[in-house]
Amino acid sequence: MNPLLNEEIEISIAGVRQLNEFINKVYGVDLGCYALTSYKRRIVKFMERNDIRSLDLFIKRLENKEVFNKFLSCQSVEVTEFFRDPALWRYFRDEILPAVAKNHDHIKIWIPGCSTGEEVASAVITLQEANLIKKAEIIATDITDEILKGVVNRKYPLSKYEYSAANYKRYNPEGDCEFSKYTITDKNSFTIPESLFDNVTFEKYNYFDDFKIRGVNIIICRNIFIYFSSQFQEKIFEKFTSKLAFNGYLIIGNKENIEWCSDIARYSLVNDSEKVFRKTSP
Amino acid sequence: MKYKVVIIGGSAGSFQVVTKIISKLPKDYNIPVVLALHRLKHVRHGFVEALSIKANLPVIEPLDKENIKPGKIYLAPANYHLYVELTGTFALSTEEPVNHSRPGIDLTFATAGYAYKNKAVGVILSGANKDGALGLKKVKDYGGVTVVQDPSEAQMPTMPNAAIERTKKIDHILSADEIIKFLISLPKP
């Protein structure tokens, strides 16, 4: 059963508010930052999985910090596939990376909301193919340690393989290379080799606090903004702006919209269909 | 009753019906129309253009948080779920596919039904799976109007049949031409 379509658990807006107030009071985290419908969907999904039948019961269970941490981990939405939007990754390899490498010996890339790591793996494979992986430093973050514990294994269900390999081919149609070059496959899963992740570090970052990172050349943050309310989107965008170096790039999802935010004046849109922005004012 | 949104769901065999419907909606049709149609995940371009050629109204793939406005036809973008929020805006999601589909018809219908209650009209067209059946039931449960393309006319009757079976009391089972007449006759805001 799909959570939003669950016929037994129906949560009202007042219920969501009550839940958020409780969490804010006990843990000091304001989950009111999330976009309502998808947040509600994650609440119901979590309740279902843990066989919790009512919101009151759920709130009671959340008194347990472990339960709360698990719930928080569920807020990071699994990224869909490797090389999602192949044209973006081609643009990344052919335009963004050469432009940054021309002026920098060291390329600093931040991937917030790395979730299950498909974007990180796509980035390191692309860097490898652009012969820039040794110059790169990739910082991948997400909101809980639990998520990061999962992603460091670089292990994926085999069901994701076929579509990812097809996407890779769309990204690299002219090359004779295959996705299998970057994967170790066994019976039920495939793994991205550790050697590709030499320059990747995983750190906890929750969007609320400050993150000690400066002078980032590229932020890859695709399909993360959609899960937040407009007000919070603007806050995150402001944080990103303060972390990006002059001429640094911000990449968001192709249907995401930050162009109403005031900070957008400091950027130029360099690729409209893939939503790539360059910070053109220091 | 004045209606505020028409949601149309379709899969295999629905493209011709959808183009026929949108080609007949007049320029001044001011109920927003939302199309949740199954489409290839990796083909982002071409679909909205193909529909635009036929329509008298602008056809748009909405951006995240875009306001739902009258006089427009909205198409769920490739590889995203399209939600309708209570604030009368769209929201997008990359969460797991529903019934093997992203966009999932059930999700757009359920959220639009919830947001617009008795001011929503849901239409399920041809398709070879059961996506949309549960969504249409939700539209009905929230007080909206339910319409299904006559399975005997649909190229693929599975989806209309599933919707009829799930909702039980469908308000209207209509041919494509009757759907067009029905949509045009709806009281407008």
- Provide the CATH number for the domain around residue B70: 3.40.50.180
CA separation, residue A114 to residues A32, A102, A152 (Å): 21, 27, 11
State whether A100 and A123 are in the same domain: yes
Q: Using one digit for the tens of pLDDT, what is the confidence trace for B11-63?
A: 999 999 999 999 999 999 999 999 999 999 889 999 999 999 999 999 999 99
Q: What is the DSSP letter of B66?
A: P
Domain with B25, as residue range(s), is 5-185
Whether residue A62 contacts residue A68, with contact meaning beta carbons closer than 8 Å, is answered with yes
Counted domains in chain B: 1
**End position of a domain, from candidates A73, A99, A121:** A73
Q: Model confidence at A51, in pLDDT bands (50, 70, 90)?
A: very high
On whether both A108 and A10 belong to a single domain, the answer is no
pLDDT at A2 over 90: no
Three-class secondary structure of residue B19 per DSSP: helix
Model pLDDT for residues A216-257, shown as the tens digit of each residue: 999 999 999 999 999 999 999 999 999 999 999 999 999 999
Suggest the residue from A1, A4, A43 to mutate for an interface test with chain B (most B CBs closer than 10 A). Answer: A4
Domain endpoint, select from A73, A96, A125: A73
Q: Which domain holds residue A210?
A: 86-153+194-279
Residue A103: Cβ within 10 Å count: 11
Residue A46 near residue A67, CB atoms below 8 Å:
no
A130 and A199 share one domain: yes
Catalytic residue among B11, B14, B101, B126: B11
Work out how many CB contacts closer than 8 A connect A with B: 82
**ipTM above threshold 0.90:** yes
Q: Is B171 a catalytic residue?
A: no
Q: Could you tell me if A25 lies within 8 Å of chain B, comparing CB atoms?
A: no
Does A61 lie in the same domain as A114? no
pLDDT in tens, A110-139: 999 999 999 999 999 999 999 999 999 999
Residue A216 sits in a domain of what CATH number? Answer: 3.40.50.150
Place of tokens 């019934």: B99
Nearest CA to A110 out of A252, A219, A203, A244 is that of: A219
Are A115 and A238 contained in the same domain? yes
Q: Is residue A168 part of a domain?
A: no
Q: Strand, helix or coil at B53?
A: helix
The domain boundary residue, chosen from A40, A73, A106: A73
User: CB distance A257–B65 less than 8 Å?
Assistant: yes
Q: Confirm whether B11 is a catalytic residue.
A: yes
The verdict on A30 and A119 lying in the same domain is: no
In chain A, how many domains are there? Answer: 2
B14 Rama sector, left if φ>0, alpha if ψ -120 to 50, beta otherwise: alpha
Same domain, A209 and A93: yes
Answer yes or no: do A33 and A146 share one domain: no
Let me know if residue A78 belongs to a domain. Answer: no
Are residues A65 and A90 located together in one domain of the fold?
Answer: no
Cα gap A37→A48, rounded to integer Å: 17
Specify the DSSP element, H or E, that contains A123.
Answer: helix A118-129
A228: which chain B residues are within 8 Å (Cβ-Cβ)? none
A69 and A205 in a common domain: no
Distances (CA, A) of A276 to A176, A257, B101: 28, 11, 27
Q: Are residues A222 and A270 in the same domain?
A: yes
Average pLDDT, chain A: 94
With CB atoms and an 8 Å threshold, state whether B106 touches A5: yes
